[in-house]
Amino acid sequence: MDFQNRAGSKPGAGALMSHSESNVARRDRLRKLALETIDIESDPYFMRNHLGSYECKLCLTLHNNEGSYLAHTQGKKHQANLARRAALDAKESENAAPTRATTAPRVKKNVVKIGRPGYKVTKIRDPNTKQFGLLFEITYPEVTDDTKPRHRFMSAYEQRIEAPNKQFQYLIFAAEPYETIAFKVQSREVDMRPGKFWSHWDKDTRKFTLQFFFRNPTRAPYGGGYHQRATSANAVAASGTVNPLNPYLTQQSS
For residue 119, what pLDDT is reported? 93
Write the DSSP symbol of residue 14: -
Query: Residue-wise pLDDT tens for the chain (254 aa)?
Result: 555 555 555 666 656 777 788 888 887 887 777 777 777 778 888 888 878 888 998 898 988 888 788 888 888 899 999 999 899 888 888 877 655 545 555 655 666 778 899 999 999 999 999 999 999 999 999 898 888 999 999 998 888 888 889 999 999 999 988 999 999 999 999 999 888 999 999 999 999 999 999 998 876 555 554 444 444 445 444 555 555 545 544 444 44
Residue 222's alpha-carbon distances to 225, 226, 231, in angstroms, are 6, 8, 15
Maximum Cα interatomic distance, the chain, rounded to a whole number of Å: 136
**15 near 50, Cβ under 8 Å?**
no
**Terminal alpha carbon distance of the chain:** 131
For residue 194, what pLDDT is reported? 87
Neighbours of 180 (CB within 10 A): 13
For residue 236, what pLDDT is reported? 42
Residue 55's alpha-carbon distances to 42, 47, 63, 159, in angstroms, are 14, 5, 6, 40
* Amino acid at position 169, single letter: Q
